[in-house]
Amino acid sequence: PTWSADSVLELNNVGMAYGQKEILAGTNLKFKGYQKVGIIGMSGSGKSTLINLLSGFLPAKEGQIKLAGQEVANFDQADWKKQLLYIPQNPYVFEGSLRENLTFYTPNASEADILEAIKVVGLDELLAELPQGLETKIGNGARALSGGQAQRIALARAFLDKQRRVMIFDEPTAHLDIETELELKEKMLPLMANRLVLFATHRLHWLNQMDLVVVLNEGQVVEVGPYAEL
């Protein structure tokens, strides 16, 4: 099933473990439709673990993740992943051209859309430096990028996609300075409309844009509610 305004994603008594170390034990959460959900907590509190569980990149050790009543494990994982725009904490730039990296989710993106996305995320300077422009090979073994540039590429992928209805961000602006972040924020907010958004961040200024905030502490969900009520 494709995510829509009345879809529901539910975690029932979910727990995770890294070897002997248990984390997020007994987690119950429910997300609906086009909610925007902020996920906050100190470093090591479990934000990335929760995000990886939700995106199906980590298996739960116990409990169930259900999508509109269907357990995600039984449900087609590949199908779920195709619905996600997932921007990990350390985005992966694979060895390939800048164009291939940007159009990872949208192989048919037009030249005009690619150039627009480059402008929006501020990769125009990088593009100008590359000898073969969009066709220049980047990533592993080719031209290395900074953490901020990799993050901008991941954001540009999201800007190019008009189809996917679930956005999962893991500190998407952590490698950017605050001025750049605030500029980008204005452009990212419209991108989040009509989508389920799960947004892990350290930066509290995002939270008043969220419908719901999940607070993590030491590997446990400690509060869930609208920001104003926390």
Select from ligand ATP, Mg ion, none the partner in contact with residue 97, using the beta carbon and a kind-dependent cut-off of 5 to 8 Å: none
The option from Mg ion, ligand ATP, none interacting with 45 (CB < 5 to 8 A, set by class) reads ligand ATP
- Min separation Cβ 63 and ligand ATP, Å: 17
Quick check: 100 and 93 in contact, CB under 8 A?
A: no
Spatial CB neighbours of 179, under 8 Å, sequence gap ≥ 6: none
Indicate the pairing of strand 166-170 with strand 196-200.
parallel
**187: helix, strand or coil:** helix
Single-letter code of the amino acid located at 112: A
Say how many residues touch ligand ATP, by CB under 6 A: 13
- What x/- string results for residues 77 through 116 when contact with ligand ATP is judged by CB under 6 A? ------------x---------------------------
* Site for ligand ATP contains 41 (CB under 6 A): yes
Q: Is 23 in the site for ligand ATP (CB under 6 A)?
A: yes
C-beta of residue 196 within 8 angstroms of C-beta of residue 208: no
Distances (CA, A) of 96 to 71, 101, 147, 157: 36, 7, 17, 15
Q: What minimum distance in Å lies between the beta carbon of 58 and ligand ATP?
A: 9
| Interface contacts to ligand ATP, rule CB under 6 A | 18, 21, 23, 41, 43-49, 89, 219
